[in-house]
Amino acid sequence: MLTSLLLKYPNAAIQKHYPTERTSKKIWFTDEHENEFIGIEASDLSREEMELLKCLFKELSGSKRLNESPLANEWVEFLFEDGTIPSARPSEYRVIQFTIHEETDVHLLKEAFNHLLPHHTLLVLMNEYEGLIIEEWNEVQLDEEQLRSISHVIESDFFASISFFIGQFGMVDPGFIASFHYEREMYKYSNMSIRTNSIQSVVTSMPSYILKHLPNEWKYYIFNKTSQVFSEDKELIQTVKAFLENQSNISQTAKKLYMHRNSVQYRIEKFIEKTMIDIKTFEGALLAYFAVLVYESDNLPKK
CATH number at residue 121: 3.30.70.270
Domain, as residue range, for 189: 65-209
Note the pLDDT of residue 63. 59
| pTM of the predicted protein model | 0.71
CATH number at residue 222: 1.10.10.2840
Q: Is 90 exceeded by the pLDDT of residue 291?
A: yes
Helices (H) and strands (E) in the chain, counts: 11, 10
Note the pLDDT of residue 303. 44
Q: How many domains does the chain have?
A: 3
Of residues 208, 184, 204, the one with CA closest to residue 98: 184
Q: Which of 10, 42, 60 marks a domain boundary?
A: 60
The whole-chain average pLDDT of the chain stands at: 87
Taking the alpha carbons of 135, 139, 140, 142 in that order, is the dihedral positive or negative?
positive
The model's pLDDT over 83-134, given as tens digits with 9 standing for 90+, comes to: 889 987 889 999 999 999 888 888 899 999 999 999 999 999 988 788 999 9
Query: Measured between alpha carbons, how far is 130 from 113 in angstroms, rounded to an integer?
Result: 13
Average pLDDT over residues 237-258: 93
The model's pLDDT over 17-65, given as tens digits with 9 standing for 90+, comes to: 766 555 557 888 888 776 788 888 888 888 888 888 888 888 776 555 6
Note the pLDDT of residue 301. 56
CA 114 to chain centre: 21
Q: Give Cβ neighbours of residue 86 (< 8 Å, ≥ 6 apart).
A: 71, 74, 75, 78, 172
Average pLDDT over residues 299-303: 59
